[in-house]
Every structure is written in structure tokens, then in C-alpha cells.
């Protein structure tokens, strides 16, 4: 049986939002939080439950919430980064680090 709710990790970097799948809700919020800490390497994030594990559907739900909050079509339709773009962001940050 498919899970009904899933944790999603939402982070922002320089104003750009990133939405990454966390885990099924049955695994608990702490599991999703741990994944966010491991995945984001210090970038602040929040957790949100959505009734899907499909990234496209979760992005649509996130945009809908943004539209309700901002009342701005421009803001709600801004591009959202996902797993691949988050990996690029982390790689670029690592390259710019001086050891």
C-alpha cells in the first residue's frame, strides 16, 4: 500500500527555493530532519508534509502555498531547484572553499 503523506525538505539559498524528497511520514519527522542535515550541509531548511512523493506534484503544491502567502504570480512561479540543482549548489560551494 502506498504511503499517503511524505516529508519534503524545503531550503532557500540566495532567495532560490529548493524542494527535495525527505521520507515517508511513517518514518517520522526526525528521519526527514536527519536527511536534511546530511544533505544540506548547513543550509537552513524546513520540513513540510505533502500527500505525494512525486516531485512535480510536490512542486505544484509548494507553488500554491507560495501564491496564497505572497499573492504574487511572479513569486509563485519562480523556478524551484530539486535534487540535481541542490547537488550542483553544494559542489560549487565546496569548490569555492579555501582549505
The SS3 assignment for 47 reads strand
If residue 58 lies in a helix (H) or strand (E), which one and from where to where? helix 55-70
pLDDT for 62: 93
Average model confidence (pLDDT) for the chain? Answer: 86
42, 44, 41, 45: which is closest to 21 by C-alpha?
45
pTM of this structure = 0.80
Kindly provide the residue ranges of all beta strands, DSSP E only, lying in the chain, ordered along the sequence.
6-13, 16-24, 45-50
Domain extent listing, the chain: 6-95
Q: Are 23 and 3 in contact (CB under 8 A)?
A: no
CA–CA separation, 67 and 99 (whole Å): 42
Q: What is the pLDDT of residues 14-61, one digit of tens each?
A: 888 899 999 999 999 999 999 999 988 778 999 999 999 999 999 999
Amino acid at each position: 500500500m502506498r504511503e499517503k503523506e511524505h516529508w519534503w525538505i524545503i531550503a532557500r539559498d540566495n532567495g532560490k527555493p529548493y524542494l527535495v524528497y525527505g521520507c515517508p511520514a511513517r518514518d517520522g519527522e526526525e528521519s526527514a530532519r536527519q536527511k536534511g542535515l546530511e544533505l544540506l550541509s548547513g543550509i537552513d531548511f524546513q520540513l513540510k508534509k505533502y500527500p505525494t512523493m512525486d516531485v512535480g506534484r510536490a512542486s505544484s503544491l509548494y507553488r500554491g502555498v507560495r501564491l496564497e502567502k505572497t499573492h504574487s504570480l511572479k513569486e509563485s512561479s519562480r523556478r524551484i531547484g530539486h535534487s540535481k540543482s541542490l547537488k550542483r549548489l553544494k559542489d560549487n560551494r565546496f569548490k569555492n572553499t579555501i582549505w
